Amino acid sequence: MIGAGAIGLGTAWHLAQQGHDVSLYDPRLNQSVDREGSAKDLSGTSASLGVLMGYVFRRRSGRGWRLRRRSMELWPQWIEMLQAHQPDLKLHPGLLQIARDEQAAERMESLAAQRVDLGLQMVNNADLATVWPTASHGGLHSRHDGRIDPLLLQQALRKALAEQNAELNATAVVHLERNDNHWRVHHTDGNSSIHDCVVLCTALNSDVLLEPLGQVRPMTPVLGQALSLRLTTGPTTWSNWPSVLVNQGFNLIPTAPGRLLLGATVEPGDRASEDPLTLMRNLNERAPEWLCSATVVGNWSGLRARPMDRPAPLLEELEPGLILASGHYRNGVLLTPGTAEWVTTAVEQA
């Protein structure tokens, strides 16, 4: 396994649980999982907000929907098992999407009607009054979608892997070499190791390892930013709030009384500028006053790996024993359990 973000850690853990011998490589494994110092180069997973938008996915068929549905089915079991390693890890349920206009409301109504059994329900303006008074077209509430803390998740998975006797190597992989029916994995420290199967979970860095093998899967970085806010006015408790409120692609996540996180996909490319902070705080000028006047107590950014010319994520066996599980773009945390299951099946069939 190469790469120890949510995808690599989750997949390694699932493989180890199924009895496979797992070695995991990532130079970040000797760093603690935190966001101390906003200048720190964060992995996609550490930058993420951990929002699970599974059942509100608009498509009704295809791989994307199947992966989401399966991941959402698996998350409660995963959390229950991982709590043994990190008791603070929780699935915070409840996600509310505010309808932007009449068309969006109609789409939401049709989805809610089809997914009553999956916990979707329309909410009218009157019911939203205490939470988001500017809502004028209602919203869609999803009982089982929600959020997990991606830092606690990584801490739990690292501990779970250590207990499974998986080999955790804090080193980068620089080169892959086919060696008869095996793979020779070359590390930065000059050593190498032999494995039956290699699983690449290296997000944006995947192409560096794939290109010399004649496999090209280009990805483009898409910046994501998050703000940690302290309110000076407005709601003091979040008693009527869901775990995640989504408005115009912005996620609002209450974390403590008077505190919340705000995040969005803000711009293509890989550089954070000052502007997005203003944009995010004003929510395209539809933000309530208490949000505009909140104090920013922290902010960070990270890169999402978006596959070029192919749908995200990239789940493929590229050659016998060479598996790619990468390019999860905006939903890598959400899709971790479904990805882990897919890779395990691929490994067992390889």
Ligand X SMILES: Cc1cc2nc3c(=O)[nH]c(=O)nc-3n(C[C@H](O)[C@H](O)[C@H](O)COP(=O)(O)OP(=O)(O)OC[C@H]3O[C@@H](n4cnc5c(N)ncnc54)[C@H](O)[C@@H]3O)c2cc1C
**Residue 260 binds ligand X (CB under 6 A):** no
Quickly count: other Cβ atoms within 10 Å of residue 53's Cβ: 20
The one segment of 63-71, 77-85, 132-140, 299-307 that binds ligand X by CB under 6 A: 299-307
String of contacts with ligand X for each residue 200-229, x by CB under 6 A: -xxx-x---x--------------xxx---
Residue of the chain from 139, 145, 330, 337 that contacts ligand X (CB under 6 A): 330
Angle at 329 (CA atoms; ends 105, 314), nearest 5 degrees: 115
The one segment of 64-72, 175-183, 298-306, 315-323 that binds ligand X by CB under 6 A: 298-306
Distances from the Cα of 173 to the Cα of 26, 197, 200, 215, 307, angstroms: 8, 14, 10, 17, 21
Helix (H, G, I), strand (E, B) or coil at 102: helix
> Minimum distance between the CB of residue 44 and ligand X, rounded to whole angstroms?
3
Residues whose CB is less than 8 angstroms from the CB of residue 58 and which lie 6 or more positions away in sequence, other chains included = 107, 111
**Residue 149 binds ligand X (CB under 6 A):** no
Distance between CA atoms of 308 and 133, rounded to whole angstroms?
39
Bridge partner list, 296: 229
CA atoms within 13 A on the CB side of 322: 20
Residue of the chain from 54, 138, 263, 321 that contacts ligand X (CB under 6 A): 263
Distance between CA atoms of 250 and 253, rounded to whole angstroms?
10
The residue whose two tokens read 């760093």 is 31
The one segment of 90-98, 121-129, 196-204, 341-349 that binds ligand X by CB under 6 A: 196-204
Residue of the chain from 54, 254, 302, 307 that contacts ligand X (CB under 6 A): 302
**Residue 337 binds ligand X (CB under 6 A):** no
Q: 62 to 91, contacts with ligand X by CB under 6 A?
A: none
> Minimum distance between the CB of residue 325 and ligand X, rounded to whole angstroms?
7
Q: Which residues bind ligand X (CB under 6 A)?
A: 2-8, 25-28, 43-45, 47-51, 172-173, 201-203, 205, 209, 224-226, 263, 302-304, 326, 328-334
